[in-house]
Chain A
Amino acid sequence: MMQRRDFLILGSIFGLSSALKSEVSTPLTHHFTEVKTTIAAVQEHMFPEGTKLPSAKTMLATEFLFETIFHRSYDKDIRSFVIEGAKELQRREKGKFTSMREEEKEKALRAYEESYYGSNWLSRIMILTMEGVFGDPVYGSNIKESGWQALHSFGGQPRPKSRYIAL
Chain B
Amino acid sequence: MKEEVFDVLIVGSGASGGAVAYSLCKAGYKVAVLEKGRLIRRNEFSKDEIAYVRRDIITPSLFEEYHTIEEKREGEWVTTPTYESGWSFWNGNIVGGSSNLMSGMLHRMHPDDFRLKSKYGAIEGANIVDWPISYADLEPYYTKVEALIGISGHFEPHPFEPPRSTNNFTQPPTKENAVVKLLDKSCKKLGIKSLVTPRAILSRDSADRHACYYSNFCGSYGCSSGAKGSAREALIKPALATGNLTLMSNTHVKQLYAGSKDNVDYALVIDTVTGKERKIGARVFVVAAQAHESARLLLNSANKFHPDGLANSSGEVGKNLIFSAGGSGQGELHQGFLKEIGFEELMQTGYFVNRSILDWYFVDHWWDGKFKGGSVEFMFEHQNIISRALKHTQEGEHLLWGNALADKVVECFTKQKSLRFEVFNDWLPHDNCFVSLDPNHKDKYGMPVGKLRIAGHPHDLKVGRYIAQKCEKILEEMGAKNIYSSISAVPPQNLIAGGCRFGKDPHTSVLNTECRAHDVKNLYVADASFMPTGGSVPYTWTIYANALRVADHILQALKTL
Instruction: Using CB atoms and an 8 Å cutoff, list the residues of chain A in contact with chain B.
Output: 1-5, 45-48, 51-53, 73-76, 110, 113, 119, 122-123, 126-127, 130-131, 134-136, 138-139, 147-148, 150-153, 155-161, 163-165, 167
Contact = CB atoms under 8 A, between A and B. Distances in A.
B383 A153 contact: yes
A53 B50 contact: no
Contacts, number: 135
Interface in B356-383: 383
A1 B85 contact: yes
5 contacts: A4-B84, A53-B406, A119-B399, A135-B50, A138-B48
Given A4-B85, A153-B383, A159 B410 contact: no
B216 A156 contact: yes
A162 B403 CA distance: 33
A165 B51 contact: yes
A134 B85 CA distance: 26
B93 to A, nearest CB: 13
B57 interface: yes
Nearest to B404: A51
Given A3-B80, A150-B406, 11 more contacts: A1-B71, A3-B85, A4-B86, A46-B399, A52-B407, A52-B410, A73-B61, A135-B54, A151-B385, A156-B217, A163-B51
Interface in B406-452: 406-407, 409-410, 413-414
Contacts of A53: 405-406, 409-410
Nearest to A110: B398
Contacts of B413: 151-153
Interface stretch (B39-47, B187-195, B544-552): B39-47
Interface in B36-69: 38, 40, 44-52, 54-55, 57-58, 61, 63
B133 interface: no
Contact of A165 (B48, B71, B407): B48
Contact of B390 (A2, A130, A138, A139): A130
B399 A164 contact: no
B58 A130 contact: no
Given A52-B407, A73-B55, A135-B386, A5 B399 contact: no
Contact of A160 (B48, B393, B402): B48
A41 B221 CA distance: 35
B389 interface: yes
Interface in B66-124: 71, 80, 83-87
A106 B430 CA distance: 53
Closest 9 CB pairs of A and B: A156-B47, A156-B217, A51-B406, A46-B401, A160-B48, A151-B413, A160-B46, A156-B215, A53-B406
Nearest to A74: B55
A52 B402 CA distance: 9
Given A156-B217, A164-B57, A51 B47 contact: no
B85 A73 contact: no
Contacts of B55: 73-74, 164
Nearest to B55: A73
A112 B401 CA distance: 14
B250 interface: no
Nearest to B52: A165
B88 to A, nearest CB: 12
Nearest to A135: B50
B433 to A, nearest CB: 17
Q: Which of A45, A123, A158, A161 has the most CB of B within 10 A?
A: A158
B414 A152 contact: yes
A4 B69 CA distance: 14
Size band of the B side of the interface? 35 or more
A164 B51 contact: yes
A130 B386 contact: yes
Contacts of A130: 386, 389-390, 393
B224 interface: yes
Contacts of B224: 157-158
A155 B49 contact: yes
Nearest to B61: A73
Contact of B410 (A1, A4, A151, A164): A151
Contacts of A1: 71, 80, 85, 87
B57 A131 contact: no
Given A52-B407, A53-B409, A46 B402 contact: yes
Contacts of A126: 390, 393, 399, 401
B401 A134 contact: no
B54 A46 contact: no
A123 B401 CA distance: 11
Nearest to A127: B390
A122 B401 CA distance: 10
Contacts of A156: 47, 215-217, 221, 383
Contacts of A51: 402-403, 405-407
A119 B216 CA distance: 34
B385 A155 contact: yes
A165 B48 CA distance: 8
A113 B399 contact: yes
A76 B58 CA distance: 18
A45 B47 contact: no
A89 to B, nearest CB: 14
B402 A45 contact: yes
A9 to B, nearest CB: 12
A158 B222 CA distance: 11
Interface string B13-40: 0000000000000000000000000101
A161 B221 CA distance: 15
B385 A157 contact: no
A157 B87 CA distance: 29
B51 A134 contact: no
B3 to A, nearest CB: 27
Given A130-B390, A134-B385, A165-B40, A159 B47 contact: yes
B87 A165 contact: no
Given A52-B410, A164-B57, A45 B86 contact: no
A51 B402 CA distance: 7
A158 B410 contact: no
A73 B57 CA distance: 7
B215 A157 contact: yes
Contacts of A47: 401-402, 405-406
A160 B51 contact: yes
A39 to B, nearest CB: 14
A45 B386 CA distance: 19
